[in-house]
Amino acid sequence: MAEYDIVVAGGGPAGLQFAREISHRSAHSVAVLERNETLRDNDKSTGGTFHQVVAGYDIPERVIMSSNPGVIFEGPEASERLEIPNYVLDFPAFLAYLGEDAAERGVDVFTGSRVSGPILEDETVAGVVARQNGGVREFYADVVVDATGPAGVLTSELGMWDPEAAQRGIGKEFEVCGSFDRNSMLFRFDHEYAPGGYAWVFPAGDGVFKIGVCWVDDFYERHRRPSGDNIDAYVRRWIESDSRWDVEEIRGVHAGEVASDNSINQRVGDGIVAVGDAVSSLNPMFGEGIRPGMESAEMAADVVLDALRKGNISRRILSAYEDRWNRKRGSRWKIQRIVGELLYDFDASQQNRFVRNVGQLSGEQAARLQRYELTLFDLLSLYPFAPKDITKAPTLLRHIRVG
């Protein structure tokens, strides 16, 4: 048995940032339990992100593969570029850095430690059970944090959200050596290459770039090729399609799933908070999850520190985190879910019109797009209406009402 003030299940960006926040701001004892043998083994993500992460969370240059001045949006026959500066991280190195920084401040990071469930005392979460070194070990804590990503190991067992009911998708990319003649992130909305999703190319430093495809399962079914090619075949088709890049060698493969609901789910319970993808924090429009996951960790850490100061870790006190998330992100995420529901189901003509509309955004609107703060007017100006969309009204209304 081990005892800590806080035990974090999951060592991805959200769990590690939570541990960093606590360790930089207090003397509380913290343990992070990660099922993989090293933090670097969580190698699913492209690592595209923005200054809010790099400057906001003191991310060192050595884990940044490229910094780029713009983002290109493409449809089957349209291409527009916005001045939105961005970064591409070396995701495994980024996680290793977050873990090292937390450990330097006294956090115990246990890898090879798979959390199997919560320990409950009088309906309050009092710790977790973990498999470690072939045995089972109990970790008791005043506060437990679920940061296990889309698995939502504790949140799903405690009924805080239903991962089965969430919209699911997958992504796969190759990290390649070769040449890509743009210094921008590129997103392409085109069912030919990414049915029901998007394809991307991100510069990742000298002679290296990342090229991939993702889709939402429901929309993939509607737009896929009759041959039912797997995602590898789509990535390869995307690689072979274009003279703007030239692939010499595939040096890495990254893949994973994403799960998204309306983000109005429960984020706290007695003795527990959930952060990152364990509680569907990722943005439902573009699937960006690093920034919102770390933001959720920061918000949760504020509230947990306050709860520990008060000696009260009840749901009532911890719900200040849930309120803050829902105020800042929850309602916006509902709207973005609606946009996603339309966007990934657009026909080719709508994809082109959408991209051209993106090209018309002013500098201020582009900045709002980057912050996910588009107004209703902004969104309407982007929307390429087609009569077929009217049949979607019941689904869209459900997204607004749920929760």
Ligand X SMILES: Cc1cc2nc3c(=O)[nH]c(=O)nc-3n(C[C@H](O)[C@H](O)[C@H](O)COP(=O)(O)OP(=O)(O)OC[C@H]3O[C@@H](n4cnc5c(N)ncnc54)[C@H](O)[C@@H]3O)c2cc1C
Q: Can you give the binding site for ligand X, defined by CB under 6 A?
A: 9-15, 33-36, 42, 44-49, 114-115, 147-149, 151, 153, 171, 173, 254-256, 258, 276-278, 282, 287-291, 293
Cβ burial of 347 (10 Å; 0-12, 13-18, 19+) is: middle
Minimum Å distance from CB 28 to ligand X? 20
Nearer to ligand X (CB atom), residue 171 or residue 271 = 171
Minimum Å distance from CB 148 to ligand X? 4
Minimum Å distance from CB 276 to ligand X? 2
How many angstroms separate the CA atoms of 134 and 144, rounded? 23
Nearer to ligand X (CB atom), residue 113 or residue 352 = 113
Q: What is the layout of strands, in order, in the sheet containing 86-89? A: 48-49, 86-89, 64-68
**Coil, strand or helix: which one is 140?**
strand
Angle at which helices 331-343 and 393-401 cross, to 10°: 160
Helix (H) or strand (E) holding 348: helix 348-359
Minimum Å distance from CB 120 to ligand X? 17
Minimum Å distance from CB 226 to ligand X? 25
Minimum Å distance from CB 390 to ligand X? 32
Nearer to ligand X (CB atom), residue 260 or residue 326 = 260
How many angstroms separate the CA atoms of 148 and 28, rounded? 21
Nearer to ligand X (CB atom), residue 75 or residue 289 = 289
Nearer to ligand X (CB atom), residue 215 or residue 245 = 215
How many angstroms separate the CA atoms of 263 and 284, rounded? 9
How many angstroms separate the CA atoms of 266 and 284, rounded? 17
Nearer to ligand X (CB atom), residue 139 or residue 354 = 139
